[in-house]
Structure 1
Amino acid sequence: MSAVPVARTVAAVALPLAWNNIVLPRLGLGVRGRTAANAGFATGYTLALRDGPNRCSRAGLRYGLLAAGVVVASYGAALAFPALRRRLGAMSDRRPEVSAVEWVTVHVPIGTVYTEELIFRGCLDPLLDKAFGPRAGALLSAASFGLWHIAPARAAGDSVPATLAVTTAGGLVLGSLRRRAADATAPALLHLALNAGGAISPRLARRIGSAFEER
Structure 2
Amino acid sequence: MRIRVVAAVGLPLLWNNWLLPRLALDHRGRTAANAVAATGYALVFRGRPNWLSGPGTRIGLGCAAVVAAAYTAAVAVPAVRRSLAGAEDRAADVGTLEWVALHIPLGTVYTEELIFRGTLDPLLDTEFGTCAGALLGSAAFGLWHVFPARAAGDNILVTVVFTGAAGLVFGALRRWTSSATAPALPHWAVNAGGALMSRL
| TM-score, length-scaled by structure 1 | 0.89
Question: 2:184 and 2:48 mapped to 1: Cα distance?
Answer: 17
Question: 2:73 and 2:48 mapped to 1: Cα distance?
Answer: 39
One-letter amino acid of the counterpart of residue 78, structure 1? A
Query: Aligned in 2, Cα 1:96/1:7: closer, same or farther, shift over 3 Å?
Result: farther
Alignment partner, residue 146 of structure 1 = 142
SS in 2 for 1:98: coil
Native 8 Å contact 1:21 1:151 kept in 2: yes
1:13 offset after TM fit, Å? 0.4
Alignment partner, residue 16 of structure 1 = 12
Query: Aligned in 2, Cα 1:51/1:195: closer, same or farther, shift over 3 Å?
Result: closer
Query: Aligned in 2, Cα 1:108/1:52: closer, same or farther, shift over 3 Å?
Result: closer
Alignment partner, residue 50 of structure 2 = 54
Gaps in structure 2 of 5+ consecutive residues:
none
| Greater alpha carbon shift after TM alignment, 129-138 vs 72-81 | 72-81
Alignment partner, residue 117 of structure 1 = 113
**Structure 1 stretches (4+) deviating beyond 3 angstroms?**
51-55
SS in 2 for 1:114: helix
Native 8 Å contact 2:35 2:110 kept in 1: yes
| Greater alpha carbon shift after TM alignment, 108-117 vs 54-63 | 54-63
SS in 2 for 1:110: helix
Alignment partner, residue 28 of structure 1 = 24
Correspondence list, 1:71-110, <5 A: 71-110=67-106
Question: 2:27 and 2:138 mapped to 1: Cα distance?
Answer: 25
Question: 2:97 and 2:123 mapped to 1: Cα distance?
Answer: 35
Query: Aligned in 2, Cα 1:51/1:16: closer, same or farther, shift over 3 Å?
Result: closer
Cα distance per residue 1:114-151 (max 9 Å; x no partner):
00000000000100001000000000000000110111
Q: Pick from 152, 155, 175: which aligns with 2:171?
A: 175
How many pairs were matched up?
200
One-letter amino acid of the counterpart of residue 149, structure 1? H
1:60 offset after TM fit, Å? 0.1
SS in 2 for 1:162: helix
Native 8 Å contact 1:60 1:186 kept in 2: yes
Asked whether 1:156 is paired with 2:152, we answer yes
1:181 offset after TM fit, Å? 1.4
| TM-score, length-scaled by structure 2 | 0.95
Identity of aligned residues (%): 61
1:96 offset after TM fit, Å? 4.4
Question: 2:143 and 2:67 mapped to 1: Cα distance?
Answer: 25
1:190 offset after TM fit, Å? 0.8
Q: Pick from 153, 156, 162: which aligns with 1:166?
A: 162
Asked whether 1:67 is paired with 2:91, we answer no
Cα distance per residue 1:87-115 (max 9 Å; x no partner):
22222222242112211111101100000
1:53 offset after TM fit, Å? 6.5
| Greater alpha carbon shift after TM alignment, 74-83 vs 132-141 | 74-83
